[in-house]
Amino acid sequence: MAEMSDSNLEKPTMIQQAVASCCGAIITSLLVSPLDVIKTRLQAQTNPFPKGKCFVYSNGLMDHICVCENGNSKAWYKKPGNFKGTLDAFVKIIRIEGIKSLWSGLPPTLIMAVPNTIIYFTLYDQLCEALKYRLEKHDAYIPVLAGSLSRFSSITVVSPLELIRTRMQHRKLSYKQLYLCVSTKVAADGWFSLWRGWSSAVLRDIPFSAMYWYNYERFKKMMCKKVGVQEPTFFIAFTSGAASGSIAALITQPFDVVKTHRQTALWESETLEIPQRDSTSTWAVMRKIVASNGITGLFAGIIPRLCKVAPACAIMISTYEYGKSFFSHLHEKMNQRP
């Protein structure tokens, strides 16, 4: 494939970066969501969710807490079926329920993933540009700093939305009821109560982002040098994104397991009013997991996570890079017009 952009092209504006990241988030969700629908159906078949419990769904971009009622959810595992494996589940779901069922978890994914991704990727590029003037001699650290700061910002902005979405998912609420629910909580526990669960997300996502962007920029430069191009092609961005995402996912898996445990505990506390008797600090949860399942318990679900994160990172970054390249070439064509 031809080069995505040339070194002398004008860089896209912040708005254009936001548009590119928005398109990337939508395309990634559309392509990766079926993998999680199938995984969830297989999980429900082998280990059905009991009444009143919840489970965590992730499409590689965002995590979503989903409600289970009467042994059957209104969402995507209401028909567990008799699946023998991933391919068998894929075929049977399409044949019995129709191909649309593979995207039945898409709305909550888009509601949370799109604004989060726009903030994250746009801010990353803006921070990289700003840090280049201050850390010219230490440019290897720029992706680490920019990735960490941009992820911190996106998590902080989106956390209250995640809590609100969880409450809306538990039961249908009008906007007035939702406002009363949130305002009552703020009056009782303060504004910081809207950021419950924020710390576990930070502990997992900031190290992930730091490692992801550091390795992505390294792999991208190495492959560009080997191929002999100035800027990454679509294939280079795709491959670099998959490799860096896999490495980051593997190293941060223990924090992902802890975050899942804390999310389900938070959901039960917020919606089912089940008191949390044990300490829910990150290290307390980690010790509890090790005591129950050993060290391997901290890496539970690593294969399914890699199967989602690798393609999600690859699709997202390559689409984003291509979108920025498109706007750069558009600028060039407009400047050439008389």
Q: pLDDT, tens digit, for every residue of 104-134?
A: 777 777 877 888 899 999 999 999 988 887 8
Contacts of 60 (CB under 8 A, 6+ apart): 28, 32, 36, 308, 309, 311, 312, 313
Max Cα-Cα span within the chain: 72
Query: Which position has the higher pLDDT, 69 or 290?
Result: 290
> CB–CB of 38/99 below 8 Å?
no
Tokens read off for 306: 């890699």
What average pLDDT does the segment 279-289 reach? 75
pLDDT digits (tens, 9 = 90+) for 134-144: 876 568 789 99
> CB–CB of 290/298 below 8 Å?
yes
Residues 178 and 171: their CA atoms lie apart, in Å, by 10
What are the percentages of helix, strand and coil residues in the chain, rounded to 5?
75, 5, 20
Length of the chain, in residues: 338
**Confidence (pLDDT) at 87:** 83
**Confidence (pLDDT) at 24:** 92
pLDDT digits (tens, 9 = 90+) for 186-241: 777 777 767 776 777 788 889 999 999 999 999 999 999 999 888 888 999 999 99
Contacts of 106 (CB under 8 A, 6+ apart): 29, 30, 33
- For 51, other C-beta atoms within 10 Å of its C-beta total 10
Give the burial string for 186-223 (b: 16+ CB within 10 Å, else e): eeeeeeeebebbbebbbbbbbbbbbbbbbbbbebbeeb
- Mean pLDDT comparison of 114-118, 195-199, 285-289, 292-296, highest-scoring range: 114-118
Tokens read off for 211: 């490692």
pTM of the model: 0.79
**Confidence (pLDDT) at 266:** 65
pLDDT digits (tens, 9 = 90+) for 77-89: 555 567 777 788 8
Query: Which position has the higher pLDDT, 122 or 161?
Result: 122
pLDDT digits (tens, 9 = 90+) for 31-46: 888 887 777 777 666 6
> CB–CB of 65/75 below 8 Å?
no
**Confidence (pLDDT) at 198:** 77
**Confidence (pLDDT) at 78:** 53
**Confidence (pLDDT) at 272:** 59
**Confidence (pLDDT) at 212:** 96
For 215, phi and psi rounded to 5 degrees?
-70, -35
**Confidence (pLDDT) at 3:** 45
First to last CA, the chain: 30
Query: Which position has the higher pLDDT, 267 or 279?
Result: 267
pLDDT digits (tens, 9 = 90+) for 2-60: 444 444 567 888 999 999 999 999 999 888 888 877 777 776 666 666 666 677 776 66
Residues 183 and 189: their CA atoms lie apart, in Å, by 10
Give residue for tokens 């044949």: 95
